[in-house]
Chain A
């Protein structure tokens, strides 16, 4: 009965939370505008997101989206190479950019009254980039050094690359965002400019401004700077090759002497958040929490780290913001005297037991409460909210989907979770990887 009493208290928790203050608009040239007001500090984050990422690259040109992101800091018809960041810094701001499978984003964080200048420069480089062969040859070395540092010097990252390549047989999520080394080495002016001209246009972009701003002022500035840029009438649809039905389980052993302790990864293809249909994804958020969220209270943590000392670390994860089918993943780092086959069997026993038993209602309520509270904590971070909207609008979701999401999360039932779990946990769509320092560890 105490459990029920606790749940009763928790249902009224956080109902007072104020939602973020969001205004949206679409310019005549098709550019989406999202303004998030947060007046607590005189700071603004200005972001432009393009609905293009590495999964939109032509075959054989892996890494071109990310390479272009680097080159966007070179010159334009108005700015000398490097001047963009110099001007941001000279105004006390900081800037950077990021590339993912589904989007490429550029942002500056500045005093709120510098928004005007940021927009002027960002609008300029949307269509006026002026690259030289020297820009490209020097930056290619930088990108190859980035790959050498972030991927090739990291056995875990190399293993992930192999696992993704095995997970996606046809879709470009199987190709790394930074690109394969041998393809990046070949990228040059024609590929880079073609990609830029094809995808960088207002009707393929989302402006997100968060901070100490009046939405009407932001809209006026957006009209002034982004409004005159013509839409690209030839903008290609985001048609990507889809995954065929997967009919066989895949297994990988990745051997690298730089691995300190053997571990295993299992990933399953899983549905992503889709506009107007986010229920499966919401249920998968609970599934990841229930199976491998907290090491103390999740099914894997309890069984493998508390009831037995099978593992040192366990985790289940799911990221639903993705234009196409995503993955649901497990990681288990076995204890020193536990073999990978035994650890994998123990993990599968936990998944089987979960499917055969009722879901603990107290755990359901605890996760519900955490998700509700996370909306309150999220309000402390305007830049985080900006990223939330930018990601959503470049992965096929709408502002309405973002705003419906917290309520959809609150309404998830145990039946929904079991239903989606039964569909996702299909070993024919799974990849299992053993990551070891030497072949003999894979026994």
Chain B
């Protein structure tokens, strides 16, 4: 077993307080890499597992297969059917969750020190030997179909589906990972098994372990848990360009408010200007009550309960997106103010004091995230997935501090293009029509 230890002293902003997190990198005899933090203070262990790929690996015509497969991992394994599996999980008081996203399968497990061998054995069965009983498939399929029906009358879901389809077309980002009623209804047990074999493979595996465990235990533990998975799966999908032009799409929906989802193309996470963009967006629309969008749309004009913008660097595309809800008679004004703020940030940039305030907040807030076993495990696995080293935890605030006003304003002008913003508006907005 290979091992490397990085001890990270997290200094807090202008503060005597320091947090020590010793991230240990482990490679098991079977070749599985993991990041480990020993934290014996509370008698439980948090394990976070990710597989790159996720719902992007749905085969042609099988949209929804990976999502349905992930939902079935808690529905019986090896010699236990769904009810027997859950009964055993309850007996152990362990907590497992299995979830598919656009590009990952995400598995979270928390279990008590005193029965961790049994909990890990049960988790291994769920990952390696899920049963996919027909009764379970039919039952969970009905739940997924119920969710799809519910999304069809939900303004946020309607807006999201419309926006994604227009921006990404046939790429997997263009459709919901749930699938359609037709595609999900047609899925067979073989389709589910294919999705399992393709999505849970060791070549795209990321693991973190935090809690009442020693680093020596982790390698053998992971070999037993994950060593029997297939070595490799299908290649990842291609990247896709954001394909939606500026404009407005109105979708009629009888509701007292309109919901608007808006965005344009964004920036990759590994772009050298990412931290400048991160700060610009924080000031524009991600900084809670302090952001310009909140100040202008909510605090000054009372047009909404909340508005935000976000950088969305995904694995195969990148966007800047935001959303706002406002009454049908005020959504047009909310959108006009949003466009104006977008343009103002691009042309005027931010001020020195806004830059300083953003840096102070972002560097001060960062260490506060490391406040529990489950949160540390989740942060560590997320870092691994985007190829960040453990030292990033130390350096990250330096990257934020290094952004100059010149950088930020150059990036604001490049990144934010008010004319490119497309607003998908679901409701009965007054004074707004679809463009084209």
Interface residue ranges, A against B (CB under 8 Å): 6, 10, 13-14, 16-18, 40-43, 73, 82, 85-86, 89-94, 109-114, 137-142, 144-146, 148-150, 152-153, 212, 257-261, 294, 296-297, 302, 305-306, 309, 312-313, 333, 335-336, 366-367, 369-370, 372-374, 376-377, 379-382
What residues of A have a CB within 8 angstroms of the CB of B311 in the complex? none
**A-B complex: 10 closest residue pairs judged by Cβ atoms:** A92-B364, A141-B302, A373-B93, A42-B17, A296-B86, A146-B305, A260-B150, A41-B371, A366-B90, A138-B302
Partner of B83, one of A13, A112, A297, A335: A297
19 extra interface residue pairs, beta carbon distance < 8 Å, beyond A141-B301, A260-B149, A313-B143: A14-B43, A41-B371, A42-B19, A85-B290, A90-B361, A110-B368, A111-B17, A111-B368, A113-B15, A145-B304, A149-B304, A149-B305, A153-B257, A257-B153, A258-B153, A260-B152, A305-B139, A312-B146, A333-B146
B325 contacts A14, C-beta separation under 8 Å: no
Chain A contacts of B372 at CB under 8 A?
40-41, 380-382
* A84: nearest chain-B partner, CB-CB: B289
Q: Are B143 and A92 closer than 8 Å at their CB atoms?
A: no
Contact B87 A13 (CB under 8 A): no
Q: Are A111 and B90 in contact (CB under 8 A)?
A: no
Which chain B residues (67-95) contact chain A, with CB distance < 8 Å? 82-83, 85-87, 90-91, 93, 95
Q: Does B374 contact A (CB under 8 A)?
A: yes
Partner of A85 from B87, B259, B289, B305 at Cβ < 8 Å: B289
Determine if B288 and A94 form an interchain contact, defined as CB atoms under 8 angstroms apart.
yes
- B436 interface residue (CB < 8 Å to A): no
A429 to B342, CA, bound (A): 54
With A94-B365, A142-B304, A261-B150 in contact, is A153–B255 under 8 Å at CB?
Answer: yes
* 19 A-B interface contacts by CB (under 8 A): A13-B114, A14-B43, A41-B368, A89-B357, A90-B357, A112-B15, A114-B15, A145-B303, A145-B325, A145-B326, A149-B304, A149-B305, A149-B325, A152-B257, A257-B153, A261-B150, A309-B139, A335-B142, A366-B91
A-B Cβ contacts below 8 A, count:
204
Provide the bound-state CA to CA distance between A92 and B303, in Å: 28
Question: Is there contact, CB below 8 Å, between B87 and A376?
Answer: no
Contact indicator A89/B287 (Cβ below 8 Å): yes
Question: How does the 8 Å CB contact mask read for B251-262 relative to A, with 1 for contact and 0 for none?
Answer: 000111101000
A263 to B301 CA separation, bound complex (whole angstroms): 39
- Distance, CA A16 to CA B212, complexed state (A): 13
Min distance, Cβ A221 to any Cβ of chain B, angstroms? 16
B302 partner residues in chain A, CB cutoff 8 A: 137-142, 145
What does the 1/0 interface line of B144-155 toward A look like (CB < 8 Å)?
001001101111
Q: Would you call A145 and B17 a contact (CB within 8 A)?
A: no
Q: Which residues of A contact B367 (CB under 8 A)?
A: 41-43, 111
Cβ B42 vs Cβ A379 within 8 A:
yes
Inter-subunit contact B114/A297 (CB<8 Å): no
Given A153-B325, A302-B83, does the pair A145, B257 have CB atoms closer than 8 Å? yes
Residues A73 and B289 in contact, CB atoms below 8 Å apart: yes
> Is B110 engaged at the interface, CB distance under 8 Å to the other chain?
yes
**Interface set, chain B 138-175, CB cutoff 8 A to A:** 138-139, 142-143, 146, 149-150, 152-155
With both chains docked as a complex, state the minimum distance between the C-beta of B161 and any C-beta of chain A, in angstroms: 14
Contact A43–B290 (Cβ < 8 Å): no
In the assembly, what is the distance between CA of A276 and CA of B350, in Å?
Answer: 57
A297 & B87 in contact (Cβ 8 Å cutoff): yes
Q: Name the distance in Å between A105's Cβ and chain B's nearest Cβ.
A: 17
Complex: A142 Cα to B296 Cα, angstroms: 12
B-chain residues with CB within 8 Å of residue A380 when the two chains form the complex: 42, 44, 46, 372-374
Tell me the minimal C-beta distance from B354 to chain A in angstroms.
11
> A179: shortest Cβ distance to chain B, in Å?
14
On whether the beta carbons of A152 and B12 are closer than 8 Å, the reply is no
Known pairs A90-B360, A142-B298; A148 contacts B327 (CB<8 A): yes
| Closest Cβ–Cβ distance, residue B208 to chain A (whole Å) | 15
Asked if A261 contacts B371 (CB within 8 A), the reply is no
Q: Which of B325-384 contact A (CB under 8 A)?
A: 325-327, 357, 360-368, 370-374
Q: Which residues of B contact A260 (CB under 8 A)?
A: 146, 149-150, 152-154
Instruction: For the complex, give the distance between the alpha carbons of A300 and B325 in Å.
Output: 37
Whether the pair B115, A13 counts as a contact (CB closer than 8 A) is: yes
Count chain A CB atoms within 10 A of each CB in B10, B12, B149, B259 and give the residue with the most.
Answer: B12
A294 to B17, CA, bound (A): 42
Give A313 to B149 CA distance when docked, in angstroms: 14
Interface flag for B272 (CB, 8 Å): no
Interface residues of B in 237-296 (CB under 8 A from A): 254-257, 259, 287-290, 295
Q: For residue A335, which residue of chain B has the nearest CB?
A: B142
Return the contact of B42 from the options A150, A333, A376 (Cβ within 8 A). Answer: A376
Chain A positions within 8 Å of B112 at CB level: 13-14, 373, 376
Taking a contact as CB atoms under 8 Å apart, the answer to whether B15 and A148 are in contact is: no
B90 in contact with A369 (CB, 8 Å)? yes
A90-B360, A138-B300, A297-B83 known; A42 vs B15 contact (CB < 8 Å): yes
Q: How far is the CB of B148 from chain A (nearest CB, A)?
A: 9
Q: Nearest Cβ in chain A — how far from B178, in angstroms?
A: 14
Return chain B residues, CB-CB under 8 Å to A148. 256-257, 325, 327
Do the beta carbons of B368 and A92 come within 8 Å of each other?
yes
